[in-house]
Amino acid sequence: MTTLSVDAETARSDYAALVERGLFLDITRGKPSPRQLDLSNGMLGLPGDVFKAEDGTDVRNYGGLNGLAELRRLFSGFLQVPADQLLAAGNSSLELMHDSVVQAMLSALPGAERRWADEERVAFLCPVPGYDRHFALSERFGIELIQVPMTESGPDMDVVERLVAEDAGIKGIWCVPKYSNPDGTTYSDETVRRLAAMTTAAPDFRIFWDNAYAIHHLTDVEAPLADLLALCEENGNADRAFVFGSTSKVTLAGAGVGFFGASKANIAWWLGKIGKRTIGPDKINQLRHILFLKDEDGVRAHMRKHRELIAPKFDAVDRILTEELGGTGLASWTKPTGGYFISLTVVPGTAKEVVRLAKAAGIALTPAGATHPYGDDPEDKTIRIAPTFPELAEIEEAVKGLTVCVRLAAAERA
Ligand code: PMP
């Protein structure tokens, strides 16, 4: 963003014309579109009159806290967790992250001196930009959030290593390691190795490894990710990783299956606590997933259908941003090869104004600042674009309108 060029008068008249159109568009949340959900309609009729899992378990009944073994095996490779250390749970991974925090508050984790509720202070590192729901969940439980800048290879590990080594109050870090929300970054092997090997002042430090986009590729080049759990074990920190994932954006966002993976000690700890909360997960839904997806190739084929539907939307966002803002110095943006988001960086000090202008013109964007803890983007320059849900034509219209707002906000500030 070197050569700033914006013609204020044109920006103002373009904006007036935009408002005049009375649009009503929403690119706020990373939801699958109805057509993506349609891909899994075949699942709704399953499991039919089949109600036995491979080990003879009657899925209609209580029990089976670990989830169905065949489903855990199917996602074991994708999530890089040995099947016997992977649990298949309810419909959401976010609730598993929530419960992990709550259980750690209420009962000492393996390796902990005391439960988090009895600590003077519990802090988490938050690579920014990041996922607003991670931040909201932490804030709800009084966890202090410390920003760490993202780089092209993941969180700035020099900063992470220094902070966790000196501060025993830092108990965790939020990570979306593959096609991260919102900038699409995949952590490099070196970043993952350093996370696994670093010295932490807290004996009960946990990496919340939210691998929500593990298999959500947008191109033929599937980003590789190092195996955190194995690296933690190799480095004598076996209990450090909590791995999360789900089929929310594989099958049905409201009726998928969430997964939790960790060391054997962590899993035993977790089952001991969670067994007080539920007698077992919805195994009918788990069986439905197995019958529908079948095997790893089945999952890959299914994900390719998602890609066919959403990749053109990502391409359209990039094309319009390039046409309207390329070379102006007013913005830069990510070109993700997977995941659900594009991160748009505008002139510092204008992101809130861009979002306000867009809203007034009928284009709903994720609030500026949502990508940072406490909603505070110190430079006020990050905007998250979620292109999956609207139809292609709507996305094109919304992003075109957004570029008008980017230009006007920059002109107002100049
Ligand atoms: N983690 C990340 C990084 C996400 O982007 C989302 C959905 N936007 C979730 C978790 C939510 O996952 P689930 O549906 O499994 O609760």
Q: Is 1 part of a structural domain of the chain?
A: no
Which atom of ligand 1 is nearest to 249's Cα? 14
Digit-coded pLDDT (tens) for 150-209: 999 999 999 999 999 999 999 999 999 999 999 999 999 999 999 999 999 999 999 999
Q: Distance from the CA of 341 to the center of ligand 1, in angstroms? A: 12
Q: Do 249 and 154 lie in a common domain? A: yes
Predicted confidence at residue 93, as pLDDT, reads 98
Q: Do 187 and 304 lie in a common domain? A: no
Q: Which protein residues are within 6 Å of ligand 1, measured from CB? A: 30, 92-94, 131, 176, 181, 210, 212, 246, 248, 258
**252, 267, 293 — which closes off a domain?**
293
Predicted confidence at residue 4, as pLDDT, reads 59
CA angle 243, 58, 73 (to 5 degrees): 30
For 321, the domain range is 8-30+300-413
Q: Is 3 part of a structural domain of the chain?
A: no
Q: Do 249 and 273 lie in a common domain? A: yes
The tally of domains found in the chain comes to 2
Q: Do 169 and 261 lie in a common domain? A: yes
Average pLDDT in the 46-64 region? 96
Q: Distance from the CA of 94 to the center of ligand 1, in angstroms? A: 6
Q: Is 332 part of a structural domain of the chain?
A: yes
Q: Is 366 part of a structural domain of the chain?
A: yes
Q: Do 307 and 402 lie in a common domain? A: yes
* Percent with pLDDT over 90 in the chain: 96
Which domain CATH number covers 341?
Answer: 3.90.1150.10
Q: Is 225 part of a structural domain of the chain?
A: yes
Q: Is the pLDDT of residue 1 over 60?
A: no
Q: Do 14 and 79 lie in a common domain? A: no
As a whole number of angstroms, the distance between CA 328 and CA 303 comes to 36
Q: Distance from the CA of 198 to the center of ligand 1, in angstroms? A: 27
Residues constituting the chain = 414
**263, 293, 323 — which closes off a domain?**
293
Q: Distance from the CA of 407 to the center of ligand 1, in angstroms? A: 32
Q: Do 135 and 95 lie in a common domain? A: yes
**293, 321, 348 — which closes off a domain?**
293
Q: Do 25 and 121 lie in a common domain? A: no
Average pLDDT in the 355-360 region? 97
Mutation probe of ligand 1 site: the residue of 131, 185, 187, 343 with most atoms within 8 A of C-beta: 131
Which domain CATH number covers 238?
Answer: 3.40.640.10
Q: Is 218 part of a structural domain of the chain?
A: yes
Q: Is 146 part of a structural domain of the chain?
A: yes
Digit-coded pLDDT (tens) for 290-326: 999 999 999 999 999 999 999 999 999 999 999 999 9
Digit-coded pLDDT (tens) for 382-394: 999 999 999 999 9
Q: Is 35 part of a structural domain of the chain?
A: no
Q: Do 108 and 23 lie in a common domain? A: no
Q: Is the pLDDT of residue 5 over 70?
A: no
